[in-house]
Amino acid sequence: MSLGPCEIFEVGPRDGLQNEKREIPVAEKVALVNKLSAAGFRRIECASFVSPKWVPQMAGSGEVLGGISRTEGVRYAALTPNMRGYEDAVAAKADEIAIFASASEGFSQKNINASIEEAFERFAPILEEARHIDMPVRGYVSCVVECPYDGKVAPADVARVADKLFAMGCYEVSLGDTIGAGTPDSIARMLLAVRDVVPVGRLAGHYHDTHGRAMANIDASLSMGVRVFDAAVAGLGGCPYAPGAAGNVATEAVNEHLTALGYDTGVDQAVVLEAAEMARAMRG
């Protein structure tokens, strides 16, 4: 018996590859996105319009969006930290954009060189412009359990940032356990606070598998009503500003797990495994 739909938001081509040391050619990134498009994902994050000085791997994002074979029904997403990034994403025909805030001041300063409040001031004009062209905007919250600089993060702090992103116009808020410190208990406590201010149907879980607990944290989130999870094919990823953060939870493992539980992801596991093979080869 099916437990209903559960969506995997594929972030491998962006969040997964951004930390790789080898300079990956645009053609390889395009091939990976095309393979993932064939797997049945509805949303794939494949670009980041940040300064190439800070994240060199994302320098060819415009070319990636220009080179992929777009599949009907799939939205191709790009990360946009500022107005310049937003304009570049629109020019490259991104289908949706994402902005990212942190629940901890320490990580906000290290990641985007701005306080949490300054970050919101930076995002306001982006959301205003996006509204005029009906561009969907997704919001990310980093460090929803613990921060590599500030230590434990209070659920109330996470709720405050998620509430603000949702109120500003983000259609969905993705909650990131950036260093993989979360446990089912701490994730549940965080979700209880966030659910009070953002409808659970507008939340996504983004769990790193640093300590092998991502799947247990997904189960805790399912029990709280969350039905969207970010994952990166082959478990690619980590964050340049989060020392010791292992990769995102692997898409193929999440898909297998959700399917075994009885959820319908709409994703073809055989094609995902082919994409994982490609992704592993790209790591050099």
Q: Which positions are annotated as active-site residues?
A: 239
Residue located via tokens 């985007």: 112
Residue 280 three-state SS: helix
**What does the alpha-carbon distance between residue 39 and residue 256 come to, in Å, rounded to a whole number?**
14
Vertex 16: Cα angle to 261 and 139 (nearest 5): 80
**What does the alpha-carbon distance between residue 218 and residue 249 come to, in Å, rounded to a whole number?**
10
Rg (CA), the chain: 17
Q: Characterise 210 by phi-psi region: left (phi > 0), alpha (psi -120 to 50), beta (else).
A: alpha
Q: Residue 234 is encoded by which pair of tokens?
A: 């082959």
Residue 233 three-state SS: helix
